[in-house]
Amino acid sequence: MQRTEKVLQLRGQQGRSVRVVREHYLRPDVPCGSALCQAACPRDGKLLSDDVTHYIVPDWKVVQDYLEILEFPELKGIVFMQTACQAMQHQRGRRQYNKLRNLLRDARHDCIMFFNEFQMLSYLPRERGESLEKWQTRSIYNASVWYYNHFLGRMPIVMVTDDEESVQQLGSETEGVFVISFKNYLDNFWPDLKAAHELFDSILQSRHERESESQEHSGKEYPEHVPTESLEAGIKSGRYIQGVLNVNKHRAQVEAFVRLQGASHKEKDLRTDVLVYGTKARNRAIHGDVVAVELLPQSEWKGRTSALCENESEEKASGEVYSELMPTGRVVGIIQKNWRDYVVTFPSREESQSHGKNTQKILVTPWDYRIPKIRISTQQAEALQDFRVVVRIDSWESTSVYPNGHFVRVLGRIGDLEGEIQTILVENSVSVGPFSEAQMCEMPVVLPEKPWKVSPEEELKRLDLRETHLVFSIDPKGCEDVDDALSVRTLPNGNLELGVHIADVTHFVTANSYTDIEARARATTYYLADRRYDMLPMILSANICSLLGLVDRYAVSVMWELDKTSYEIKKVWYTRSILRSSYKLFYEAAQALLDGDPAAAAEIPELQELDERVRKQKLDELIWAIGKLTDVARHIRAKRDSCGALELEGVEVMVQLDDKKNIADLIPRQPLEVHETIAECMILANHWVAKKIWESFPYQALLRQHPPPRQEFFSELRECASSKGFTIDTQSNKALADSLDKAVDADPLVNKLLRSMATQAMSNALYFSTGSHPQEEFSHYGLALDKYTHFTSPIRRYADIIVHRLLLAATSKDGKTITKNLFGNKELEELCNHINNRNRAAQHAQKQSTELFQCMYFKDKDPEKDEHCTADGIIYSIRTNGVLVFVPRYGIKGAAYLKNKEGLVICCQSDKSCSWKPGCLQRFPDRIISIPTTGESVTLKLFDHVTVQVSVQNSRCHAATIRLQITSCKPHRTSEQEPAQSHPISKMDLVKEVTKTAEEAQLAQDKAKANTLEEEYEPYRQTKGVSLYHLLEEIKDLALLDVSADSGA
């Protein structure tokens, strides 16, 4: 054991200066982490490549200020010295430091950390009276020299620093080790890397601003934050409350809520969130920050506004009606900042002129309403006017009204589809570039003339199902990434054998390979309205992993032996296998076979080539298998219903239907039973895999929980239902499902809306690591299962890949080799959080992109003239100055005002059309009455049908929004119906069909927000064949045709 001399370090801690003596061991065997190394350094982990022209060593100050530039993938061969990293950690806090850590961890970036302070020769003790900064620079320089000598001078080292003095002093001290300033470095080595130069300038400028500002200002805009220690103490003692700040999107200037977390609120009996009123009280906290709030005295409490409101910055002077008072507080400190990249828009030319003198500092407006304006220093403001731009926040001093930030990069033009999509991606922190070369190199090579083959070694290891089992897959039409297939057969003893076969993605994606790291970062495939971003490279997702028909593929199979009559599960086993899917069916065909439709067989391509007799026999086999499968699924489902009681059946059926009718084809109305069959098999597989991995790894298994919803969230649902005379029992999932089933009105939309409200009241299902939660919390409320996980879609979800690895480790005989690659509980929990976040981001991105397309669709239409802009709506919520309306035709939910900005209220004419007149509004729980001074009053009740006009409100800085205006109080008769009568052409029906599918697809999108059940049924959602965008385009085309047809007739 080598142990060397011991050095003392002195440290003063905050408050009283305490002398702390720490040991410090120096050693000769610190790995240098370079592939160039000739000495016997251990070479595990990440290595610096040896084919760069030089290594760059950033000084501590450079690391702190310009980390973003060092993150550029073009910069290679970066050595972060331990001294610099520690300085970063102490001075910039954990968040920044974690950024650095992730950079170091990322195998794609060519950078390492060198522990210079532990290396015997590169360590320098701090001299008496030497300032910390000087010593840090000196240490880093000394380490650079050591590094240079370590490679026997074969690699020049460039140390970049901001300190002019050290450039002068150290610049020519050692040959081969160059000390230059960062600016100089960029100019000389990367003259072409424009983005880096721009970033450098903008960082530099914002730094100067900050410095000059801190000198001149003394007037404080905000109270100072309470120091961290007193915050922690305050939270413990219950004086402060910790929570996440949520800014109200519609009243971003004034209202924000703090959702409580931690134990502190239990004692205080705080049921609701805490209201933070006004920006002063918010005290520089930004949406998403973890903050500590102090409650105000009860006399200052306020209520939340229930009035509808637009995102105008001016405060509404009068007419604000508050609901009951709720706890109100002010932010005293920020525990964790949650700053990310923000998309902003520069003010247009006219606006910026009125802003006046200082053209260097510009206030930009973020795309997200909840984020305050950000002050940017840049000279490019003119040029950037018409673009969406990414900025980052640097600081928010108590002396400044707005935070300071700097410009990072340009996304695209305002209003441009590509730019807007990029905006949505950045706002959801989704980063999806094309797959890198390193990742593609890991992929097996597949050429058309040389297709991929099963390797003989694998053939020995795997169970071969190719000859013995009839395997087939059922998916939506046009699906490329088939990750599940099924089989069923009778065993010699008469029992049934059911098999669910999932693509063996982990065979191709080894743990910690580049592809794996990338997939982990993406966590899921992102589906936007018009495109998708795959989690795995195309070659895997659509080819080698996909269980296509009539080719050999690897799979992971879960097999059950079922009793021949009762379908009790006798035995279950898990294995890796090789299979050849005999049929790649789509849902309609499968259903047709099940229904005994003889024509269906003609549609199956696999059967075309065969002669009549063989064909008949094969067809019979297939029909038997599908029938048996359906039978089994019915049983399993019935059992699940009875013992656990699940499901909001209608919702899921509806969603199925939407997914199913994946837009291009317009055929079935009815949900197909095949869907349920497939879903049930997948749920069964997921459930059993969850059990298995939990048994084998009780503290590091990845499961999925769906916590029971909080009862108070159901209050709106109950109120709405009672207005129609239904009672909704929300005590248990069973009771809820039953009472929802009973709440059937003459208007089918009522039930739909009630169900969607119920879904919104529920919390999201989440992934978690079993080691971090007590066992009671494992259960899945929606599916009524005690354990559940995701196993069946490894091509689209990273969680499934983890579960595959767990399962394979649990079932392999020589557990050792594989267990090595599993995550520990803590890492897994972190990963689960990451995946949950990504899933949420994916859902948001999907929803926002859909809204984007909705707006683009309505944008070119004149609301007054175009008949497509007038539609039927149903009221589903009442507010003080308006109502919330759901437009089933386009699946839009939005607000419609009964009182406009001038204070005029809506008034009904005798022909039931509406106009604006002075008057007042009266609101009751289930209806709202508009009483104009002259003319009849208007009463609107919940679930009333009205006619609304759809228009688009464009906004330069934000996403465009859909506006609704009530034009008549009676239900809208679609104008199509009349021409449809006069023109009984199928084309018109087509339009209707198309719009209906759109509507339902929309409904599904709306639910995606809170809908967890939908997710469970995603297995068969797979690839979205034709997108909503195409559909809308199609409607447009058809509309044109209609007009011409009409005029022709």
Partner 1 sequence: MAGLELLSEQGFRLDGRRAGELRQLRARMGVFAQADGSAYLEQGNTKALAVVYGPHELRGSRGKAPHAQALVNCQYSMATFSTAERKRRPHGDRASAEMSLHLKQTFEAALLTRLFPRSQIDIYVQILQADGGNYCAAVNAATLALLDAGIPMRDYVCACSAGFLEDTALADLNYVEEAAGGPQLALALLPQAQHIALLELNARLHQDHLPRVLDAATQACRHLHALLDRVVREHLRDAAALLGK
Contacts with partner 1, residue ranges (CB under 8 A): 1, 3, 6, 13, 18-27, 31, 45, 89, 93-94, 97, 101, 104-105, 113, 115, 117-118, 228, 699, 824, 826
φ, ψ (nearest 5 deg) of residue 83: -55, -45
Q: At what angle do helices 798-811 and 673-696 cross, to 10 degrees?
A: 50
Name the residue nearer to partner 1 (CB basis): 25 or 322: 25
Q: What's the rounded Cα separation, in Å, for the pair 179 and 157?
A: 9
Shortest Cβ distance from residue 120 to partner 1 (Å)? 10
Q: What's the rounded Cα separation, in Å, for the pair 170 and 180?
A: 9
Name the residue nearer to partner 1 (CB basis): 16 or 865: 16
Shortest Cβ distance from residue 19 to partner 1 (Å)? 6
Residue 950, CA distances (Å) to 439, 547, 868, 870 in order: 47, 45, 8, 6
Shortest Cβ distance from residue 872 to partner 1 (Å)? 57
Do the Cβ atoms of 788 and 782 come closer than 8 Å?
A: no
- H/E segment holding residue 139: helix 132-150
Name the residue nearer to partner 1 (CB basis): 119 or 264: 119
Name the residue nearer to partner 1 (CB basis): 21 or 263: 21
Name the residue nearer to partner 1 (CB basis): 118 or 301: 118
- The residue type found at 53 is T
Which value, in Å, is the radius of gyration of the alpha carbons in the chain?
A: 32
- The residue type found at 334 is I
Nearest residue to 1046 via CA among 990, 988, 965: 988
Shortest Cβ distance from residue 808 to partner 1 (Å)? 20
Shortest Cβ distance from residue 229 to partner 1 (Å)? 10
Shortest Cβ distance from residue 264 to partner 1 (Å)? 18
- Give the position of tokens 């065979």: 507
Shortest Cβ distance from residue 46 to partner 1 (Å)? 10
Shortest Cβ distance from residue 256 to partner 1 (Å)? 26
Name the residue nearer to partner 1 (CB basis): 22 or 355: 22
34 secondary structure, DSSP code: B
Shortest Cβ distance from residue 813 to partner 1 (Å)? 21
Do the Cβ atoms of 615 and 723 come closer than 8 Å?
A: no
Residue 187: half-sphere exposure toward Cβ, Cα within 13 Å: 6
Residue 369, sorted as left (phi over 0), alpha (psi -120 to 50) or beta, turns out to be: alpha
Name the residue nearer to partner 1 (CB basis): 3 or 194: 3
Do the Cβ atoms of 392 and 374 come closer than 8 Å?
A: no
Shortest Cβ distance from residue 832 to partner 1 (Å)? 17
Name the residue nearer to partner 1 (CB basis): 765 or 809: 809
368 secondary structure, DSSP code: S
Shortest Cβ distance from residue 53 to partner 1 (Å)? 26
- H/E segment holding residue 374: strand 374-377
Do the Cβ atoms of 705 and 766 come closer than 8 Å?
A: yes
- The residue type found at 140 is I
- The residue type found at 446 is V
Name the residue nearer to partner 1 (CB basis): 115 or 583: 115
Name the residue nearer to partner 1 (CB basis): 232 or 738: 232
Task: Give every CB contact of residue 298 below 8 A, 6+ residues apart in sequence.
Answer: none
Shortest Cβ distance from residue 32 to partner 1 (Å)? 11
Q: What's the rounded Cα separation, in Å, for the pair 900 and 968?
A: 16
φ, ψ (nearest 5 deg) of residue 170: -95, -15
Q: What's the rounded Cα separation, in Å, for the pair 430 and 471?
A: 37
Shortest Cβ distance from residue 122 to partner 1 (Å)? 12
Name the residue nearer to partner 1 (CB basis): 85 or 896: 85
Query: Other C-beta atoms within 10 Å of 1036: how many?
Result: 14
Name the residue nearer to partner 1 (CB basis): 45 or 129: 45
Number of residues assigned to the chain: 1049
Name the residue nearer to partner 1 (CB basis): 97 or 514: 97
Q: What's the rounded Cα separation, in Å, for the pair 866 and 974?
A: 12
- Give the position of tokens 């604000």: 320
Name the residue nearer to partner 1 (CB basis): 85 or 743: 85
Shortest Cβ distance from residue 788 to partner 1 (Å)? 24
Name the residue nearer to partner 1 (CB basis): 17 or 214: 17
Name the residue nearer to partner 1 (CB basis): 24 or 1009: 24
Q: What's the rounded Cα separation, in Å, for the pair 435 and 540?
A: 12
Residue 1008, CA distances (Å) to 405, 714, 843, 851 in order: 33, 18, 6, 13
Shortest Cβ distance from residue 13 to partner 1 (Å)? 7
Task: Give every CB contact of residue 320 below 8 A, 6+ residues apart in sequence.
Answer: 305, 307
Shortest Cβ distance from residue 156 to partner 1 (Å)? 25
Q: What's the rounded Cα separation, in Å, for the pair 174 and 171?
A: 8
Q: What's the rounded Cα separation, in Å, for the pair 873 and 995?
A: 15
Shortest Cβ distance from residue 818 to partner 1 (Å)? 17
Shortest Cβ distance from residue 140 to partner 1 (Å)? 17
Do the Cβ atoms of 143 and 124 come closer than 8 Å?
A: no
Name the residue nearer to partner 1 (CB basis): 121 or 180: 121
Do the Cβ atoms of 476 and 586 come closer than 8 Å?
A: yes
Task: Give every CB contact of residue 567 below 8 A, 6+ residues apart in sequence.
Answer: 496, 631, 632, 635, 636
Residue 879, CA distances (Å) to 101, 273, 722, 921, 1015 in order: 49, 20, 17, 11, 31
φ, ψ (nearest 5 deg) of residue 686: -60, -45
